[in-house]
Amino acid sequence: MRNISDQVPPGVPVSAVVFKAACRTGELCLVTHDAVDWFNDQRMLTSIRLVRLNVLNFPNIPTLGDPVYVNRIFGMDNTIDDEQGDHIHFGWPAVEINKTYDIVAVYARSGDGIYPEARFSAYLDSEPDLRFSRLLRKGDNTYGNPNCIDGNNNPCVYRWGDNAGASVDPYDDTAIWIAQQYANIKGGYDIWVGKVFGKKYPDYSAASIAAPSTIQPGGSFTISGKISNHGDGASEMTRAAVYLIANGDGVSVQIGEFIQPLVEPGATKEFHATLTLPARVPPGRYLLKVLLNSNQLVEEYSTKNNSAFADRIVRVGTTGR
């Protein structure tokens, strides 16, 4: 199968390029490529170097003896998931550090027994070394056509992505989102995204709100629409409020509420709600608005996308123009 080491240019030190760096209050973390003969069999395997430096007093940067300093090469194999003696290449890393100074490095792996996959390692600030790596997304097939020969009678070269992605979540400054390529079933690649650390939260949005054209004071009516959960956390029981907003002066009146349906992360669900229009609402032309999680009992990534308007003007107490 194609190995990620195939793209290292000849004559260029593999540790000469910083793939990503991240800094947090004087702690600078960076990742590069390296290469190690892990099995002492004259086979150099692409590996990853993780460096953490104390740069508070730059250009004075302490190394050995400083508690912040880390200079760690990792690769070889995973003693839990891999067969003993598997020769595996690690490459194309990215790194991020959160507010508690915990570090995550994401990267690709390929080699004996595995298709090109996405994986990550965590280095917690309270621990002395990297934790065992975890699988982000396994590879499904060989990357590229293994039988392809170019015009010079050499195996075809298929380019792998230059970089991974790692970024701290601005919502809580704790979770770290990571992304990396993996070989898909068709022999190409797709990108897989995951999250390390932090809590999971939902993120509601409403759309396609349908309402009747005319509603009589004191009468019942039904609205419908769609609720989506764009977060990574499961939705919880909460309420949605329904408002009428006067078309002329913009005065908003809450006319009812309903229980939101539970929506799984990444899913969309339709809703139908039957309400009674309060008799006190004066005749006129109104915009109808639905506001999700109106009591804000459920913590979300964002509430900025919680409201949506019906697709027509609603008339109260009249059927004429």
Closest CA to 192 of 206, 202, 176, 178: 178
264-273 as b/e, with b when 16 or more CB fall inside 10 Å? eeeeeeebeb
Confidence of residue 161 (pLDDT cuts 50, 70, 90): confident
Structure confidence at residue 193 (pLDDT): 95
Comparing CA positions, the residue from 163, 168, 166, 235 lying closest to residue 200 is 235
Question: Which amino acid is residue 150, in one-letter code?
Answer: D
Report the mean per-residue pLDDT for the chain. Answer: 90
Its pTM stands at: 0.83
Instruction: Please write the tens of the pLDDT for every residue from 76-85.
Output: 888 788 888 8
319: confidence class by pLDDT, cuts 50, 70, 90: low
Query: Which residue has tokens 């009591």?
Result: 295
Which two structure tokens, joined as six digits, stand for 161? 């992505």
Q: What is the pLDDT of residue 309?
A: 96
In the chain, % of residues over pLDDT 70: 93
Cα end-to-end span (Å), the chain: 71
